[in-house]
Amino acid sequence: MKLEKYVDKDRKKRKIILISLGVIVLISVSLLLYKTFASFTESAEFLMMNGKVDYFGNSDIYFVFYKGDDELLEEMPQKGNEENLVFDHGECDNGANIEWNENEWAPLVKGLNKVKTKCSLYFKEYVPTFDKELVKCGKAGTGAAECIKNNANLDTTNLWVDDTGDANIRYVGANATVNNYIDIGDRDGDGNPILWRIIGVMNNITNLDNGGQQESLVKIIRADSIGNYSWDSSAQNINYGSGVNEWSQADLMKLLNPGFNNSQDKDYDGNLVAINNSLYWNRDSGVCYINNKGGWTYCDFTSIGISEKAKEKITKVRWNTGTFGEAYDEDKITAKYMYEGERSSHNGKEQCEDMGIESCNDEVPRTTTWEGYIGLIYPSDYGYAVGGSVRNICLGKSMCNYDSDSCYTNDWIKSTTYQKHMWTITPFPDSYSSIELFAVHYANHLFGHSAYIDNQVNPVAYLSSSVKITGGTGEKGTPFIASLN
């Protein structure tokens, strides 16, 4: 009896232990399943950098991308893309749903509790909502500058006020989305329009054709390059034949502006030839500089030079040709920093003129202003043309690094010639030479380049204060129409 009593107690004890262990295992498994299930039902976040169409691979989720309702895309559009595609909506099967994270530019998938889930992301082209009819305000007697200022109150996507003391209004954004084309009456040899583009409305510009008054003027740049030419060239004994970074005497300045019909230089045989000679201004042909030591090529502007009707609409102004006055620091070259340097009293030679360097031996007087009709962009024009969601980020960056953070893809001012850079008007102050200028690299960042190199030339001018905009929408097919009284 005692043995049976002890056996029964032992059996009961083992039974209790087994039941307890079973309960613990059951609770543990339940908690594990709940935790796993909850992690998928509460949120599952996927930062998509790329994706394949209709392909699971080793994943339980795949994405399909569309432009509009039915145009299939091979990959997800990148943030700040040139087509200006923005997220519209998303759909998932298996009960999952999508939220879009604009800052991360990524979908947030929630309720993902089944395998093999398909999500479709739909993107659409962003079109700003503003009254395009306002651009016809010139018919009511409003000048071009005032018309654009009025538009800036409605279109806060493509028109921004910069952070300078002059508070200029600028067209900003990706090349494909900025509707700033303008027809100023420029025509080619066949009578077809040669289009320009509006950089913006620049305030406090000295208009020399209007008695030197300070005015708000529309600044324009020719849409297409007129060719690749040296900024300046020089004899072998001057700066090693690599040119001089002073715009008031530059060969390119003489090519674009009136009054230099008698410019001459020696050819390879030592004979005097007419060169540059206001050829663009006069719609003439001749020879132009393209290399150091007086290298030149034949050039023809009889069809693409500026036309007489276009000349009537541009005005002579005082341009700023200064630069920054301290040692070059790549990280400092923001748009605002450069804007202030362009208007300073510093020139492109002062940092090397006392060092006795042969690449800085020119005796050309330096200036920081120039009076004329046709110039080039400033580096700050390039910097301030960036738009889109990355605008504030990029304005805080050096323009020397605009090839990152989608800055250049959201900047419509850029080199369009293969492996050629776009010239600016501004000298690059170098400690070892006086031959450097700022240029927009074909890979879309700012850098210094020697004057003798042949780079892309896009003429820049200011419209007369008498010009009105009397039609058009600014799109390439229907450009703004510039008219005089």
Q: What is residue 23's predicted lDDT score, i.e. its pLDDT?
A: 59
pLDDT value at position 97?
Answer: 84
171-224 tens-digit pLDDT: 999 998 899 999 999 999 999 999 999 999 999 999 999 999 999 999 999 999
What integer pLDDT is reported at residue 316 of this predicted model? 98
Neighbours of 344 (CB within 10 A): 13
Q: Measured between alpha carbons, how far is 117 from 109 in angstroms, rounded to an integer? A: 10
Render pLDDT for 261-305 as a digit per residue (tens, 0 to 9). Answer: 877 766 666 777 778 889 999 999 999 999 887 788 999 999 999
Q: How far apart are CA 59 and CA 203, in angstroms?
A: 57
For residues 326, 328, 331, 336, the Cα torsion angle rounded to the nearest 10 degrees is: 50
At residue 98, the pLDDT reads 85
> At a CB cut-off of 8 Å and minimum separation 6, what does 271 contact?
none
Q: What is the pLDDT of residue 263?
A: 73
Please say whether the beta carbons of 407 and 79 come within 8 A. no
First to last CA, the chain: 127
For 231, half-sphere exposure in the C-beta direction (CA atoms, 13 angstrom radius) is: 30
Q: Are the beta carbons of 387 and 158 closer than 8 angstroms?
A: yes
289 within 8 A of 276, measured Cβ to Cβ: yes
Query: Contact, 218 vs 211, CB < 8 A?
Result: no
Length of the chain: 485
Question: Which residue's entry shows tokens 């910069």?
Answer: 162
Cα–Cα distance between 54 and 33 in angstroms, integer?
30
- Partners of 481 in the β-ladder: 183
pLDDT value at residue 245: 97
Element (H, E) at 93: none
| Residue tagged 């962003």 (tokens) | 126
Q: Which two tokens stand for residue 346?
A: 């510093």
pTM of the model: 0.74
pLDDT of residue 137: 63
In the predicted model, residues of the chain with pLDDT beneath 50 are 1-7, 33-55, 129-132
Question: CA-CA distance, 384 to 201, in Å (whole number)?
Answer: 12
pLDDT at residue 50, as a whole number: 38
Q: What is the pLDDT of residue 93?
A: 86
pLDDT given for residue 42 in this prediction: 37
What is the pLDDT at residue 116?
80
pLDDT, residue 459, reads: 98
